[in-house]
Amino acid sequence: MSLFVLDLAFVLWLAASAINQFDWKWWSKVRAFDAFALLPKWTFFAPRPGKDDLRVVYRDLFENGTPSSWSELQTTPRRGALIHMLWNPEKLDNKAVFDLSLMFAIEVAQFESFPKAAPVALSYIQLLDAVMQPRRTYGTVARQFGVVATRGHRPPRKTEILMLSQAHPFDPA
């Protein structure tokens, strides 16, 4: 008997979870009783799902003014997909850089009428800190970074430059 009650409870919970995915007015009265959020609301597919990846790229500037080639800011070490799926302690760092890039892309649009305000935005300063961390090559005096949106997994990818920073000098050490 107790197994039947447990099975019935899981079937009812599954049915209620499926119904909870829809925004029906009559169901909102039931949802009001869900004080412990036992009914999940999955939003895998938004009305306008994200199609682009945001990437942070940087380049160093040498003493004579010539720039190096662009490098992508790596927040996670390169591993095989299976290992990465099972072991990914840097996931939070990767998510933080993505969120900062997204936040800064939104702020850039807001600063369009006042572009000199962008470098004092908190997201800009945090991205700059992350970009200045990788080791620099000998003879470089400054670093510039950008936020780039890419679409597609195989070359040629659609690429759009969202923002390029000014050159930021390294501390003389």
CA distance 143 to 164: 11
If we measure between CA atoms, which residue out of 94, 82, 102 comes closest to residue 163?
102
The pLDDT assigned to 81 comes to 65
The pLDDT assigned to 113 comes to 74
Distances (CA, A) of 166 to 1, 64, 119, 162, 173: 71, 17, 9, 14, 21
Distances (CA, A) of 120 to 113, 116, 132: 15, 8, 16
Structure tokens of 75? Answer: 């927040």
The pLDDT assigned to 43 comes to 64
Structure tokens of 125? Answer: 């300063």
The string of DSSP letters for 108-131 reads HHHGGG-GGGGGGSHHHHHHHHHH
Contact indicator for 42, 22 with CB cutoff of 8 Å: no
The pLDDT assigned to 47 comes to 61
Cross-strand bridge partners of residue 71: 58
Task: Note down pLDDT in tens along the chain; length 173 residues.
Answer: 688 888 999 999 999 888 888 878 888 888 888 877 788 877 666 666 667 778 889 999 999 989 999 998 887 666 666 776 677 677 777 778 878 888 887 777 777 777 677 777 788 888 899 899 898 888 899 999 988 888 877 777 788 888 888 899 998 76
Residues in CB range of 85: below 8 A, 6 or more apart: none
CA distance 82 to 72: 22
